[in-house]
Structure 1
Amino acid sequence: MSDSNSDSSNKSDTTTTNNTTYADKRNVASEGAVAVSGDGNNVTNSYSYSYKTTDLGAVQAGVTLAGNVATKALDLTTTGLASVLDAMKASATQNKEIFDQTLKLVGDTNTSTKDAYAKAAEEVNGNRVLVGMGVIAIGLALAKGAYK
């Protein structure tokens, strides 16, 4: 017989690891672009579509409105300037009338001053005559009294 000693053992270790990750896979793509993102074997496509719309006359209406506002502003400015010019003409006419009246008054005053001076000169000359006649009368009276 034989002696045999054998020891056999099987040992097995199993380890399971679950790796879970979360990633935001949203894409932002501009008009007409294609965006692709991926993680491992998963691929996500994101398409961006552009829709064209018409302005339905909004631009033309805006241009027309701007034109109407500018036209109204010019009309009001023209009316305002016309009113200012009319007021200036009326003021100039009144100023001319006042100036003409002032010149007339100055002329009248000048004439009155001349007349007053002439009258004063006449009175002074007249008074001289009276004084002279009075002196003669006094002289005659004295002479008459001296010869009596």
Structure 2
Amino acid sequence: MAKHSPRDDNYDQLNINALFDSLFAVSDSALIDASFDGFIESRSTDSHQNDDDFIERAIHLSSVLLEAAKRSARERSSVHNASVWPLTPDLTIKVFSMLDTQSLFCAGATCSIFKMCAIDPLSYININLGTLIPKIKPKINNNKDAMVSTMIQRVGSALQ
């Protein structure tokens, strides 16, 4: 049985980093799609099972990469949010511990509503986030857009 050395791990990590650099350098999804199809065809054998296994491994790899990217984004957002939160953790706990049950539920409901609005792409369809102060596009002005715009303005530059 062959030994697995830390040197092999470093070599593997360098190869994976180079692979990521190559993949992320390509921004044309049609090119990636065509390249994948061409790769499948070039390695095709008489057995479709091998192709199916390869495609399943590609799907699994893409889901692992997606989860890693989501986890990394959450970690980065957590670090950002922790750095812009004005209160220390112990003071935050003290403030929220002084609230009664009804107030805590109201705060929780507010956070839930904000989260639902924040993750819904339709909430931003009529809001121009490219300006220094987000503005509602003049075509449509409904309550949902106004609510999201108000929340964004209150969050200010801390929004990420």
TM-score (norm. length: structure 1): 0.28
Task: Choose between structure 1 and 2: higher strand proportion.
Answer: 1
Task: Choose between structure 1 and 2: higher helix proportion.
Answer: 2
Greater gyration radius: 1
